[in-house]
């Protein structure tokens, strides 16, 4: 089981500061999830805005076994509280590092807000059906 974050460079961040921004984001994430649990940390510049893909193993303490035992459990690690505090904590880390970048969640009310899992599944089903219909049209010529 793996989990991951995609962190996009803010549009108002000077491109000369991108490297330092991503290095600090990486430090923050490694501090949060552990260096040994980091599987991949890669910056892509293949789209409109540079972004970091950080993939990690969601490890938590195994309280049933006590001691230094750990287990893999995204449900216990990525709780609502963890997700609620992620962006403010990243913002504080960047501020403390002297990086002038404003962290956003990426989802705004103007963009329609967050979608439920049910809405995402319905949208995906609609997209698949539309793609299938488009492919049928190619063969009807």
Query: What does the pLDDT look like over 27-84, one tens digit per residue?
Result: 999 999 999 999 999 998 877 788 999 999 999 988 887 767 899 999 999 999 999 9
Residues 6 or more apart whose Cβ sits within 8 Å of residue 111 = none
Strands (E), the chain: 3-8, 38-44, 51-56, 59-61, 70-72
Q: Which two tokens stand for residue 105?
A: 């969640």
Rounded Cα distance, 125 and 127, in Å: 5
The residue-averaged pLDDT of 80-101 equals: 93
Please check the confidence at residue 110 and state whether its pLDDT lies above 60.
Answer: no
Q: Bigger pLDDT: 87 or 134?
A: 87
Percent of the chain, pLDDT > 70?
84
Q: Which of 11-25, 99-113, 127-141 has the highest mean pLDDT?
A: 11-25
The answer to whether the pTM exceeds 0.85 is no
- What DSSP element (H or E) covers 71? strand 70-72
């Amino acid at each position: 089981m793996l989990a991951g974050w995609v962190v996009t460079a803010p549009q108002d961040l000077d491109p000369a500061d991108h490297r330092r921004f991503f290095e600090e984001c990486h430090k923050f994430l490694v501090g949060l999830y552990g260096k040994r649990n980091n599987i991949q940390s890669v910056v892509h510049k293949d789209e409109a805005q540079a972004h970091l893909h950080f993939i990690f193993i969601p490890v938590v303490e195994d309280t049933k076994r006590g001691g230094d035992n750990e287990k893999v459990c995204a449900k216990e690690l990525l709780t609502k509280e963890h997700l609620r505090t992620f962006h403010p904590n990243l913002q504080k880390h960047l501020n403390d590092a002297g990086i002038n970048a404003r962290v956003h969640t990426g989802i705004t009310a103007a963009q329609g807000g967050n979608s439920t899992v049910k809405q995402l599944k319905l949208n995906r089903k609609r997209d698949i059906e539309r793609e299938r219909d488009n492919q049928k049209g190619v063969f009807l010529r």
